[in-house]
């Protein structure tokens, strides 16, 4: 089915309207469409509805909570917060990793703007969802697709008076004006970085370029900054992407090390002021010689988990990527989370005296989160803290005890040696990720995640 | 001799009991609050049935706001709703403890006091359950267009949910039924919500679901299924986030 046959275009306030038809002129039912376009959107990881607080003005439907709300959980344990759908799964691009690439033989279908609106409103009033997450394959051209998306959310906001959360993908290559118009209607925008480096992008997504992806990202960033000024001047000026922008990249489809990935994430946070970077463990959906060989092990979930842990350290714990990893040691440890691993390599800075250490150093103690660190700083103003107080505050002593002193004393006499502490942490029932626990059953292979096997032997 | 004030498991009841205890000017060891039906009889105790009035409850609320501040009030407000028979006693204990510290507005920072710690924990668990239910409530459209939801929470969270949904769905007629505590919140379009207690809804008498409703249930179930990635399936993780006890009231698991 060629795309030109399957649509009729007429104009609605200058916006093209896309009228989809199924193969052979049969229209798929709403149920089929939703299944196809939700299934096609599921590889997008972000489903958060946080970052905006907005009350209803009394004339429409919807509101936003700053913290975001999860409405359900799918069988993979991920939260369902937004109606995550593609506008269309037709696509002119041929990205190797993507289920919707043009060379794949899958059923193609599209929503109309009205269908997107009705679905969102009817799901929302039943409290199934917190809002809409609208992404899309590229139909005809980036501009054409962006206009369809704009038409849908314009309708949703202006005609249906929807005041809930909207997350929209900015399509790389779409015009500046269109992206701006969309930004004034959406709460969050995201441009997918797709892959960590420009070379990988060239290899696996031949129709996309790094420049095309970073341009809209920069545009949204600049426009958000201007909007802050406008809002300071005129309180009722319309908000531009109030919940900030995010991005995501696929992990494990290309040979980048964790170190490279963390450096990319770090520069995105610093230079593009992103709210979040999401990591998506590569899932084999296509057979292609350019993709890594298929193994029985499933997506690299442990690696994804470690990257999220490290991402957290960058955003909330004042760590830098260069502290966690290096050229010589470019990948995360399987056994220990990045913070614990850092502490084991920097025992010279420990033990830390709880009653005196500054806040930033407290943040670096394994077993001590930023909430406990704040509580410690508050509580030690009133009196000195002991190990029993730390327990009440919520410190995980089982891990922290090797790295801290209270009034100059450690909880138990401990050797400050890497091997000693590592062994003790492991035997104290350090929660090991499933992948490591199961390692006994299958042989490590050449195709395993890089650099993990050596670490295992070191401590076992 | 210790006096135990016995009251019903309602906001008015507990606040009235605190009112009486406070009026009697007793020390921390000399008084406590117990819920009717959950009184553990002790020796050398006097048990007093509390006369419950709205006036007493309002007086205690005002007292808390004035002397303990808005933040402590927020914690106590949630702790009162908890599913715990010791909640009245914990709140009374925390309020009495606030008298003994220099700045009573910082009482919630004194987590080393067992009663304060308990109020803090109760409040956290109620806020947690209420937040969770903001997402897990499932409205179903009944003939006539009324949205109806049923929940089975541990704590009496209806009053936490009502403002949220009243703000979110101001133009809808909706009601939420807490079948554990047999209470309703009813919201008529463009009006304020009301809490209805002590009535028993007969599920037989509910109007039928609309045809549209069945259609959207089907769509939603289809969506929840479609959006899951098979190669990442992890039912244990799903159960961790979404405990089984909530599922009977959620259409996607019915």
How far is Cα A252 from Cα B8, in angstroms, rounded to an integer? 59
Collapsed DSSP state (helix, strand, coil) of residue B185? strand
Cα B44 off chain centre by: 33
What is the pLDDT, as a whole number, of residue A12?
A: 41
CB-CB under 8 Å, B147 with A125: yes
Is residue A46, in this structure, part of any structural domain at all?
Answer: yes
What is the pLDDT, as a whole number, of residue A223?
A: 94
Written as six digits, the tokens of B251 are 């259409």
What is the pLDDT, as a whole number, of residue B207?
A: 85
CB-CB under 8 Å, A69 with B135: yes
How far is Cα A263 from Cα A269, in angstroms, rounded to an integer? 10
Residues 68-97 of A with CB under 8 A from B: 69-81, 83-84
Collapsed DSSP state (helix, strand, coil) of residue B176? strand
Q: Does residue A21 register a pLDDT over 70?
A: no
Which residues neighbour A189 within 8 Å (Cβ) at sequence distance 6 or greater? A167, A168, A169, A170, A179, A182, A183, A220, A241, A245
Total count of domains within chain A:
2
The model's pLDDT over A177-225, given as tens digits with 9 standing for 90+, comes to 999 999 999 999 999 999 999 999 999 999 999 999 999 999 999 999 9
Is residue A310, in this structure, part of any structural domain at all?
Answer: no
Domain boundary among A233, A248, A263: A248
Is residue A195, in this structure, part of any structural domain at all?
Answer: yes
The conformational region for residue B198 under phi > 0 = left, psi -120 to 50 = alpha, else beta, is left
* Judgement on whether residues A243 and A346 belong to the same structural domain of the protein: no
* Judgement on whether residues A80 and A223 belong to the same structural domain of the protein: yes
- Please report, for residues A153, A239, A282, B158, the alpha-carbon distance to residue A71 in angstroms, rounded to integers and kept in the order given: 21, 26, 26, 17
Picking from A358-362, A433-437, B114-118, B226-230, which range would have the lowest pLDDT averaged per residue?
Answer: A433-437
* Judgement on whether residues A79 and A194 belong to the same structural domain of the protein: yes
* Judgement on whether residues A238 and A352 belong to the same structural domain of the protein: no
Is residue A426, in this structure, part of any structural domain at all?
Answer: yes
* Judgement on whether residues A232 and A357 belong to the same structural domain of the protein: no
Name which of A237, A118, A116, A145 is nearest A184 in CA terms: A237
Q: Sign of the CA dihedral A384, A388, A394, A399?
A: positive
How far is Cα A52 from Cα B36, in angstroms, rounded to an integer? 43
Is residue A282, in this structure, part of any structural domain at all?
Answer: no
Quickly list H helices, A272-324. Answer: 301-316, 321-324
Is residue A287, in this structure, part of any structural domain at all?
Answer: no
The residue in chain B having the minimum alpha-carbon distance to the alpha carbon of residue A49 is B135
Q: Does residue A77 register a pLDDT over 70?
A: yes
Per-residue pLDDT of chain B (254 residues; tens, 9 = 90+): 889 999 999 999 999 999 999 998 888 888 999 998 888 888 888 899 999 999 999 999 999 999 999 989 999 999 999 999 999 999 999 999 998 888 888 888 887 788 998 999 999 999 999 999 999 999 999 988 899 999 999 999 999 999 999 999 999 999 999 989 989 999 999 999 999 886 666 766 788 899 999 999 999 999 999 999 998 999 999 999 999 999 999 999 98
Which residues neighbour B127 within 8 Å (Cβ) at sequence distance 6 or greater? B78, B160
Q: Does residue A47 register a pLDDT over 90?
A: no
CA dihedral B51, B57, B63, B64 (to 10 degrees): 120
What is the pLDDT, as a whole number, of residue A429?
A: 60
Distance from CA of B99 to the nearest CA of A (A): 18
How far is Cα B42 from Cα B173, in angstroms, rounded to an integer? 49
% of chain A at pLDDT higher than 70? 87
* Cis, bond preceding B166 (omega within 30 deg of 0): no
- Please report, for residues B3, B16, B50, B58, the alpha-carbon distance to residue B53 in angstroms, rounded to integers and kept in the order given: 20, 7, 9, 9
The strands making up B2-7's β-sheet, listed across from edge to edge, are B31-35, B2-7, B45-49
- Establish if B170 touches chain A: CB-CB under 8 angstroms: yes
Question: Which one of A50, A65, A70, A128 would you mutate to disrupt binding with B, by most B Cβ within 10 Å of its Cβ?
Answer: A128
Cα B100 off chain centre by: 29
CA dihedral A358, A363, A365, A369 (to 10 degrees): 130
Strands A165-169 and A15-18: unpaired
Q: Does residue A8 register a pLDDT over 60?
A: no
Which of A73, A83, A283 shows the shortest C-beta gap to B242?
Answer: A73
Residues 235-294 of A with CB under 8 A from B: 281, 283-284
Written as six digits, the tokens of B46 are 């006097």
Written as six digits, the tokens of A108 are 């193609």
What is the pLDDT, as a whole number, of residue B57?
A: 95
Domain boundary among A186, A220, A248: A248
Q: Print the domain residue range for A418.
A: 338-431
* Judgement on whether residues A44 and A192 belong to the same structural domain of the protein: yes
Is residue A448, in this structure, part of any structural domain at all?
Answer: no
- With 0-12 / 13-18 / 19 or more C-beta atoms within 10 angstroms meaning exposed / middle / buried, residue A329 is middle
Is residue A207, in this structure, part of any structural domain at all?
Answer: yes
Total Cβ atoms within 10 A of residue B148 = 20
* Judgement on whether residues A359 and A217 belong to the same structural domain of the protein: no
Domain boundary among A248, A277, A293: A248
Name which of A279, A269, A262 is nearest A244 in CA terms: A269
* Judgement on whether residues A243 and A367 belong to the same structural domain of the protein: no
- How many residues are listed for chain B in this entry? 254
* Judgement on whether residues A168 and A43 belong to the same structural domain of the protein: yes
- Establish if B131 touches chain A: CB-CB under 8 angstroms: yes
Q: Which ipTM was obtained for this model? A: 0.93
pLDDT band at A266 (very low <50, low <70, confident <90, very high): very high
How far is Cα B183 from Cα B151, in angstroms, rounded to an integer? 10
């Amino acid at each position: 089915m060629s795309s030109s046959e399957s649509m009729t275009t007429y104009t609605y306030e200058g916006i093209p309207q896309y009228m989809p038809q199924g193969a052979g002129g049969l229209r798929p039912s709403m149920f089929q469409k939703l299944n196809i376009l939700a299934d096609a959107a599921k590889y997008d990881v972000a489903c958060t509805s946080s970052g905006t607080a907005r009350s209803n003005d009394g004339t429409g439907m919807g509101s936003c909570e700053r913290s975001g709300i999860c409405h359900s959980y799918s069988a993979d344990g991920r939260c369902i917060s937004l109606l995550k759908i593609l506008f269309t799964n037709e696509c002119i691009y041929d990205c190797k990793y993507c289920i919707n690439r043009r060379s794949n033989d899958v059923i193609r279908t599209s929503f109309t703007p009205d269908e997107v609106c009705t679905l969102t409103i009817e799901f929302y009033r039943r409290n199934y969802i917190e809002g809409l997450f609208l992404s899309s394959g590229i139909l005809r051209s980036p501009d054409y697709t962006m206009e369809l998306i704009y038409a849908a959310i314009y309708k949703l906001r202006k005609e249906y008076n929807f005041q809930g959360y909207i997350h929209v993908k900015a399509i790389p290559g779409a015009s500046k004006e269109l992206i701006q118009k969309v930004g004034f209607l959406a709460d969050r925008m995201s441009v997918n970085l797709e892959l960590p480096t420009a070379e990988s992008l060239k290899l696996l997504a031949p129709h996309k370029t790094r420049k095309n992806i970073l341009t809209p990202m920069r545009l949204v960033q600049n426009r958000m900054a201007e909007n802050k000024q406008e809002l300071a001047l005129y309180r009722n000026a319309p908000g531009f992407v109030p919940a900030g922008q995010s991005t995501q990249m696929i992990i494990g489809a290309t040979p980048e090390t964790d170190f490279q990935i963390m450096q990319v994430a770090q520069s995105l946070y610093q230079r593009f002021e992103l709210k979040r970077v999401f990591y998506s463990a590569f899932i084999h959906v296509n057979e292609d010689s350019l993709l890594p060989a298929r193994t029985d092990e499933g997506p690299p979930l442990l690696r994804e988990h470690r990257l999220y842990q490290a991402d957290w350290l960058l955003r909330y714990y004042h760590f830098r990527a260069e502290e966690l990893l290096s050229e010589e040691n470019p990948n995360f440890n399987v056994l220990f989370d990045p913070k614990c691993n850092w502490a084991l390599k920097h025992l010279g800075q420990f033990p830390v005296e709880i009653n005196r250490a500054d806040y930033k150093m407290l943040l670096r103690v394994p077993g001590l989160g930023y909430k406990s660190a704040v509580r410690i700083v508050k509580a030690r103003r009133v009196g000195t803290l002991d190990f029993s107080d730390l327990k009440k505050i919520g410190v995980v002593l089982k891990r922290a005890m090797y790295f801290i002193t209270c009034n100059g004393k450690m909880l138990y006499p401990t050797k400050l040696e890497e091997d000693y502490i590592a062994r003790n942490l492991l035997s104290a029932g350090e929660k090991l990720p499933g992948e490591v626990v199961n390692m006994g059953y299958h042989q490590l292979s050449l195709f395993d995640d890089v650099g993990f096997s050596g670490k295992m032997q070191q401590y076992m | 001799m210790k006096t135990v004030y016995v009251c019903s498991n309602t906001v008015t009841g507990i606040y009235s009991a605190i009112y009486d205890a406070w009026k009697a000017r007793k020390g921390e060891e000399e008084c406590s609050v117990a819920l009717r039906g959950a009184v553990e009889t002790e020796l050398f105790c006097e048990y007093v049935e509390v006369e419950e009035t709205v006036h007493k409850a309002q007086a205690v609320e005002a007292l808390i706001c004035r002397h303990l501040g808005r933040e402590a009030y927020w914690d106590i407000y949630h702790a009162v709703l908890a599913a715990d028979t010791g909640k009245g006693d914990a709140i009374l204990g925390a309020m009495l403890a606030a008298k003994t510290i220099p700045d009573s507005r910082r009482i919630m920072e004194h987590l080393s006091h067992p009663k304060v710690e308990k109020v803090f924990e109760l409040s956290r668990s109620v806020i947690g359950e209420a937040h969770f239910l903001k997402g897990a409530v499932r409205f179903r459209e009944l003939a006539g267009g009324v949205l109806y939801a049923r929940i089975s929470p541990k704590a009496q969270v209806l009053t936490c949910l009502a403002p949220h949904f009243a703000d979110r769905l101001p133009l809808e007629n909706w009601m939420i039924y807490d079948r554990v505590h047999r209470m309703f919140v009813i919201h008529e379009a463009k009006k304020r919500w009301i809490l209805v207690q002590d009535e028993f809804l007969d599920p037989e008498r509910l109007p039928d679901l609309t045809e549209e409703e069945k259609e959207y249930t089907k769509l939603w179930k289809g969506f929840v299924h479609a959006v899951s990635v098979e190669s990442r399936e992890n039912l244990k993780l799903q159960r961790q986030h979404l405990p089984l006890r909530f599922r009977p009231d959620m259409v996607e698991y019915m």
